[in-house]
């Protein structure tokens, strides 16, 4: 039964309904709860836990990080925010509420070899990609700098201009197609400008010559060598943030779904309708709505307002990419470092058209405290669409496929003992940049015309934000509510030529 929520107006007191309990929603709630502007946050989360994509899933005591979340930001505001939730200087051997400093190690699995990522101009890299490929790549890069493609209409154009055709064909074309399900020539170039940004051959060379630490703002995120990470995974930080919101007087409703955002005759939000797991429905009066709900769900759930037919069609057709993770606890791997030691990677990009597998995490290397059992705890990541074969196959079929693919590419063999396994499906994990994405300016203008409504976070803006960018959209929204900044700033987060976690 949905408990009663007191939203009675006491003088200047106001209420903000926050749709979604992920990084954006919880950041907004905590910002409001710690301010002195008299706005009580009510977070409404469809899942039974907070954290969104940044939650930590626990299976038989084994913890999984969905997609892998490195805590690194160029924003002092975000870094200070994280520090205020978990201790940066604590000892994980004796404390739980700590953020550890972890090494960032990744490789690309390419033609049955493991290439350093970011790619380095080393003998090992030259050997692994081959001298001829290296020469072609250098020539292709030079040609792209002299004869860039204009105009840049697609992600393919963006990649070729940035890296040259040979490197694009080698490392980006097939992998991008695997991730998004369509060829880069069919994707909007915005994805590249938002995700790749400052990453380039020049940036890689500069990084090789002068290694930077995680506190310096000019380091490209794809090139960092260290990052912060909660002892028990990303969900630990967001659980702690949620607890702080409650202690500060905010409300968090899990297992509740928003079915309507109600607009009054003055074209301003006045309530949201929610339904709980038992089917009990209630209207929650509010003065503001901060929504991280996917736009394909938000727009058709607006009530009391005429929605233009074209806007409704654009929003409901916005594309997404879904996600499946298979967790495998194995006794050993058949692959090792060049020195014969266990792989230190946090994740490995699988650049192989012969398998569906896109990326493999080794959770032990994110934090040893994620894995209380003996063995190596793997997260095998598959990109798919709801309704396709990867999404609809049974858990047993998905796990069998994952084991078979690992054997096929030589990461485990038929003698490897599988001690535990689980399969997790995540809908709408990635906003996609094709189809009606090109109509986003019209959707945005329509939503901005509704008073008290603020779109925040990855799905709330249909923008492939990193965690810190999602947080910054929430902070910008609260600043706008306080009158300290323009609402335009909410949409301007992550539009500068800065950084993003590549691949």
- Condensed to tens digits (0 to 9), the pLDDT of residues 67-96 reads 899 999 999 999 999 999 999 999 999 999
89-143 pLDDT, tens digit per residue, is: 999 999 999 999 999 999 999 888 888 887 766 777 778 888 898 899 999 999 9
Query: Which residues partner with 283 through β-bridges?
Result: 273
When pLDDT is cut at 50, 70 and 90, the band that residue 46 belongs to is very high
When pLDDT is cut at 50, 70 and 90, the band that residue 44 belongs to is very high
Per-residue model confidence (pLDDT) at position 43: 99
Tally the residues of the chain. Answer: 503
CATH T-level fold of 320-431: Polyamine Oxidase; Chain A, domain 2 (3.90.660)
Per-residue model confidence (pLDDT) at position 156: 96
Average pLDDT over every residue of 278-290: 98
Per-residue model confidence (pLDDT) at position 127: 81
CATH T-level fold of 118-220: protoporphyrinogen ix oxidase, domain 3 (1.10.3110)
DSSP secondary structure letters along 378-394: EEEEEEE-TTSHHHHS-
Q: Where exactly are the structural domains of the chain? A: 14-52+232-318+433-492, 118-220, 320-431
Q: Which residues contact 51 (CB under 8 A, 6 or more apart)?
A: 21, 22, 23, 26, 234, 235, 238, 239
Model confidence pTM above 0.75: yes
Q: Which residues contact 181 (CB under 8 A, 6 or more apart)?
A: 321, 383, 384, 385
Average pLDDT over every residue of 332-354: 91
Q: Of 3.50.50.60, 3.40.47.10, 1.10.20.60, 3.10.20.90, which CATH number belongs to 14-52+232-318+433-492?
A: 3.50.50.60
Average pLDDT, the chain: 90
Per-residue model confidence (pLDDT) at position 114: 84
Query: Looking at the predicted structure, is the pLDDT value of residue 501 above 60?
Result: no
């Amino acid at each position: 039964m949905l408990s009663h929520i007191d939203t009675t107006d006491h003088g200047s007191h106001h209420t903000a309904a926050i749709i979604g309990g992920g990084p954006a929603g919880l950041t907004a709630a905590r910002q409001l709860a710690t301010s002195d502007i008299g706005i009580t946050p009510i977070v409404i989360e469809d899942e039974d836990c907070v954290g969104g994509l940044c939650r930590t899933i626990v299976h038989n005591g084994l913890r999984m990080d969905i997609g892998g979340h490195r805590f690194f930001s160029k924003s002092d505001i975000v870094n200070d925010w994280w520090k205020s939730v978990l201790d940066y200087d604590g000892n994980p051997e004796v404390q739980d509420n700590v953020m550890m400093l972890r090494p960032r190690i990744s490789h690309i699995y390419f033609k049955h070899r493991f290439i350093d990522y970011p790619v380095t101009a080393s003998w090992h890299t030259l050997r692994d990609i081959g001298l001829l490929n290296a020469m072609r790549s250098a020539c292709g890069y030079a040609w792209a700098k002299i004869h860039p493609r204009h105009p840049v209409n697609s992600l393919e154009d963006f990649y070729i201009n940035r890296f040259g055709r040979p490197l694009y064909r080698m490392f980006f074309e097939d992998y991008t197609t695997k991730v998004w399900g369509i060829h880069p020539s069919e994707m909007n170039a915005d994805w590249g400008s938002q995700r790749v940004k400052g990453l380039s051959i020049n940036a890689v060379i500069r990084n090789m010559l002068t290694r930077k630490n995680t506190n310096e703002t000019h380091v490209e995120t794809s090139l960092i060598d260290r990052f912060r990470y909660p002892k028990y995974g990303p969900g630990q930080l967001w659980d702690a943030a949620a607890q702080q919101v409650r202690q500060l007087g905010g409300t968090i409703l899990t297992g509740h779904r928003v079915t309507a955002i109600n607009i009054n005759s003055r074209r301003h939000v006045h309530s949201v309708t929610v339904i709980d797991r038992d089917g009990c429905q209630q209207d929650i009066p509010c003065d503001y709505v901060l929504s991280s709900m996917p736009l394909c769900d938000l727009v058709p759930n607006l009530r009391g307002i005429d929605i233009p037919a074209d806007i409704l069609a654009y929003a409901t057709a916005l594309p997404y990419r879904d996600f499946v993770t298979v967790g495998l606890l194995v006794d050993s791997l058949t692959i090792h470092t060049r020195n014969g030691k266990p792989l230190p990677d946090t994740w490995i990009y699988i650049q192989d058209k012969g398998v569906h597998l896109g990326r493999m995490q080794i959770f032990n290397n994110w934090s040893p405290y994620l894995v209380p059992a003996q063995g190596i705890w793997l997260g095998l990541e598959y990109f798919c669409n709801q309704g396709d074969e990867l999404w609809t196959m049974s858990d047993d079929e998905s796990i069998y496929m994952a084991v078979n693919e690992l054997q096929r590419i030589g990461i485990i063999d038929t003698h490897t003992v599988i001690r535990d396994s689980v399969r997790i499906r995540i809908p709408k994990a990635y906003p996609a940049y094709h189809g009606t994405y090109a109509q986003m300016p019209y959707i945005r203008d329509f939503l901005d015309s509704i008073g008290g409504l603020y779109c925040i976070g990855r799905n709330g803006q249909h923008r492939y934000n990193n965690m810190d960018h999602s947080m910054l959209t929430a902070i910008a929204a609260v600043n706008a509510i306080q009158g300290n900044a323009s609402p335009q700033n909410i949409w301007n987060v992550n539009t500068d030529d800065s950084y993003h976690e590549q691949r």
